[in-house]
Structure 1
Amino acid sequence: MKFDTWLLGHDLRQMPGLSQQIEAMGFDGMWTAEAGKDPFFPLLLVAEHTQKVTLGTSIATAFPRTPTILAHMAWDLAAYSNGRFILGLGTQVRAHNERRLGVAWEKPIKRMRETIEAMHAIWDCWQNGTPLRYEGEFFNLSLMTPFFSGQRLTVPRPPVYISAINEQMLKLAGKVCDGAQLHPFHSLRYLKEFALPVIEAGLRENGRLRSDFTANGSVFVIPTDGDVPVAEYEAHTKGQMAYYMSTPAYRVVLEMHGWVEVGKQLSVLARQGTWDEMPKLLTDEMVDTFTISGKWSELPRIAKARYEGVLDRLNFYLPYKPGADDAGWAAAIAGFKSD
């Protein structure tokens, strides 16, 4: 099991030193989120200043970018990183697409599938000289002259993961993707009884094996020792959990545990903007279901016991910040690297 970390809102000027520190600590990968910062710019610096660590977006929103634009960005980062880049895409939800990003929300499953298929067609054109011809409902691509073509790669094409939580997107991941970014708001039961079986059904439809696919997940954690007070970690985790539980698009997880009514109550509070009240609706059972907790040195053992054979790589849903629990992070990395 690979153990990664993710970067959130870091100044680009920090990125060279930070990425080198993360690699030196022993993390297997680092991911950027499209939250307050562009997810691609930091990874250019990560690629330049590291040698081994995997780097990727988790996630970049797909629909504001055309398949050709995404193809170029991923292709260039794959080349510059010597094959270490993973393109992680997501749809976001309707409100963010329409009201924050300014793009139409139409048939997101089909549009995501066409985005991925079109990128593959573009990459096949660049790498193998195959004439570009992709025809879909959203994209019709037939023009690629040498002047606009990417140069052939000497490494494999970039893997494509998509963020998925509901059935149709999970199945699409199994059909056409190299991996899935599984949402931090999950339970073990949801993963084993719903998400992975749906992914595997998609894999079978296209004659693929589970070993052809990477299940990548973020995990809510509450470290109980270290420099940062446990109450601060609890508040962060409960706040994030309450926000996700309030989101109707993620209700499939609550349905498995009989907590849909709590989700609806949280949605009302979210619409009212009473964010501080939302975590108060979470019970201890909910927190235990959706998080793991323990000393930093214990978290790897607990995570492995829960996720071995379920997730292929994971990260804690806590961005790494130099100087904040460095010893704890080091203990966690050591635990994941031990048998």
Structure 2
Amino acid sequence: MQIYTTLVQNDLGAIPAEIARIEAAGYDGVLTQENRHDPFLPLGVAAVHSQGLQLGTGVAIAFPRSPMVMANIGWDLQLASSGRFELGIGTQVKGHNERRFSVPWSAPVPRLKEYIGSLRAIWQSWKTGEPLAFQGEHYQFTLMTPNFTPEPMAFAPPPITMAAVGPAMLRLAGEVADGVRLHAFCTRKYFENTVLPELQTGLSRAGRSRESLQVSGGGFVVSGATDEEVAASVEFHRQRIAFYGSTRAYWPVLEQHDLLDVGEQLNDMAKNNQWRDMPAVVSDDMLQLFCAIGRHDQIASEIERQFGGLADALSDSASYDTPGQLPAAVIDDIQAIETRFSGFNGNLEPAR
């Protein structure tokens, strides 16, 4: 199993020392998020201050950026990192697209399918020199001259991973993505009953095997060196679960456990600005559904119990405010957990 952690995003000057610490500890990679800060700038710094770490967005929001803009960013980071960049993208919900990013909203699944297809078509044009001719309902790319074509790159274009929660998006991930980044608001039961069957439907549509798709995430890792640190982390994650549980898009997970009434209660509290009171609604039993919890000397076995046979990669941090601090020996134990993913092969063809 691969283990990732988050990368500092609020201080670019702190990245060289932090990326050196993370790499020395033995982590497989780092992820950035698109919350308070841009997810790409820190990875540019990390790319030229690291040697072997995978560098990924977990995730960048797709629709506010033209696929051409995203293609440029992905190409440059792949080159700067010598082939270690993973482009993780997601759609976000309608309200954020329209009211936070001020971009039009349309059915996200067909639009994201075109988005990914157009990215691959652009990269294919840059890689081979063949004319750019992508024609879709949402995106059309038919102009590419030498002046706008990046310099040649020895590496394959970056793998595209995508965020997915609901069944339709999970099927799309299995069909067209190199990897799926599951939301941390996920339980083993939802993983087994919904995530894997829907991914397999998509994989079957494309004639692909499960080994070709990296499945990452699907819950929280809650750990610390001492019981006191674990307890503090538990309360942080209780707040995160309350926040996500208030959002309707994530309620299919709650429905698996007959907890929809909890989601409705949290949603009402959020509407009434009762953010400080919401964590108390998340019981310890509910917390256990979403988390692998334990001290550093316990967490590898808890991760195997919660995610074994399901996830190929995990992050030990939900926010750059709480960077991963796992000891090297614990990282080794996590990496020893067997998974099905065999590696990014770069062989997916661009959709036309």
What is the letter of the counterpart of residue 48 of structure 1? V
Match of 2:144 in 1: 144
1:253 paired with 2:253, answer yes
Match of 1:332 in 2: 330
The CA deviation at 1:330 is 4.0
Match of 2:49 in 1: 49
Q: Distance in 1 between matches of 2:328 and 2:218?
A: 18
Equivalent pair of 1:58/1:181 in contact (CA under 8 Å): yes
* Cα distance change, pair 314–131 in 1 and its aligned pair in 2 (3 A): same
Post-superposition Cα deviations, 1:197-238, rounded to whole Å, max 9, x if no partner, equal 111110110111111110011532333643964442122100
Q: Distance in 1 between matches of 2:324 and 2:105?
A: 41
The CA deviation at 1:164 is 0.3
Match of 1:274 in 2: 274
TM-score normalized by structure 2?
A: 0.91
Q: Distance in 2 between matches of 1:337 and 1:107?
A: 38
What is the letter of the counterpart of residue 46 of structure 1? A
1:75 paired with 2:66, answer no
* Cα distance change, pair 254–15 in 1 and its aligned pair in 2 (3 A): same
Match of 2:112 in 1: 112
**Correspondence list, 1:41-190, <5 A:** 41-190=41-190
What is the letter of the counterpart of residue 273 of structure 2? G
1:210 paired with 2:207, answer no
Equivalent pair of 2:8/2:321 in contact (CA under 8 Å): no
Gaps in structure 2 of 5+ consecutive residues: 338-352
Q: Distance in 2 between matches of 1:12 and 1:99?
A: 28
| CA RMSD across the alignment | 1.8
Equivalent pair of 2:6/2:324 in contact (CA under 8 Å): no
Q: Distance in 2 between matches of 1:71 and 1:192?
A: 34
Match of 1:305 in 2: 305
Gaps in structure 1 of 5+ consecutive residues: none
Secondary structure of the residue that 1:106 maps to in structure 2? Answer: coil
* Cα distance change, pair 73–272 in 1 and its aligned pair in 2 (3 A): same
Q: Distance in 1 between matches of 2:167 and 2:34?
A: 23
Q: Distance in 2 between matches of 1:83 and 1:3?
A: 19
Count of aligned pairs: 337
Equivalent pair of 1:127/1:151 in contact (CA under 8 Å): no
Match of 1:7 in 2: 7
1:315 paired with 2:311, answer no
Match of 1:221 in 2: 221
Q: Distance in 2 between matches of 1:36 and 1:186?
A: 23
Secondary structure of the residue that 1:38 maps to in structure 2? Answer: coil
Post-superposition Cα deviations, 1:279-306, rounded to whole Å, max 9, x if no partner, equal 1112222111111211112111210233
The CA deviation at 1:153 is 2.1
Q: Distance in 1 between matches of 2:263 and 2:151?
A: 49
Q: Distance in 2 between matches of 1:14 and 1:49?
A: 11
Q: Percent of aligned positions with the same letter in both sequences?
A: 38
The CA deviation at 1:130 is 2.0
Secondary structure of the residue that 2:175 maps to in structure 1? Answer: helix
* Cα distance change, pair 26–321 in 1 and its aligned pair in 2 (3 A): farther
Q: Distance in 2 between matches of 1:225 and 1:90?
A: 33
Match of 2:343 in 1: none
